[in-house]
Amino acid sequence: MHVDSNEVQEVPAHDGKLLSHKELGGMGGATMVSALNPESIRGWLRNRRGWKRRSNKLIKDFSFGSFRDSIVFVNRVATLADCHDHHPDIDVRYSTVTLTLSTNDPRGITEKDLELAEQIDFATSTH
């Protein structure tokens, strides 16, 4: 079933409250997310500049000319994270920002992490 992202669909929640399509994550209902296998992650990393895997996390450092530029970048990432309803850990050290992506449930790296990483790279022209 295709649902236009501008179209609002309502689905009853457990407490009787109606949830919009956006509140459901754009998928029309609850979805199961699975951790990716190591081969899939390695294949993705081969095509992405700067991203590294540490344990069950994707990590990338971004360098900027000033603290202000770092914060502008963080705000851009915050907007993307809110749109994806998936939020990275963000560490700011003056002109370097480190992003760490992982999923809590299930624990590990999932498609949600890869999608957000790709969106961050695209939005910051570092792909």
Q: Where are the domains of the chain?
A: 1-31, 32-124
User: What is the third-level CATH fold of 32-124?
Assistant: Gyrase A; domain 2 (3.30.1360)
Find, among 118, 113, 18, 123, the residue nearest to 56 by Cα.
113
pLDDT, greater one: 125 or 58: 58
Handedness of CA 87, 93, 96, 102 (dihedral sign): negative
Q: What are 54's strand-pairing partners?
A: 57
Percent of the chain with pLDDT over 90: 63
Handedness of CA 57, 58, 62, 68 (dihedral sign): negative
Three-state DSSP state, 53: strand
pLDDT for 6 beyond 50: no
Per-residue model confidence as pLDDT tens digits over 66-120: 999 999 999 999 999 999 999 999 999 999 999 999 998 888 999 999 999 999 9
CA distances from 36 to 12, 56, 71, 92, 108 (A): 31, 10, 31, 28, 7
Dihedral (Cα; 84, 52, 32, 9), 10-degree rounding: 10
Task: Identify whether the C-beta of residue 66 lies closer than 8 Å to the C-beta of residue 99.
Answer: no
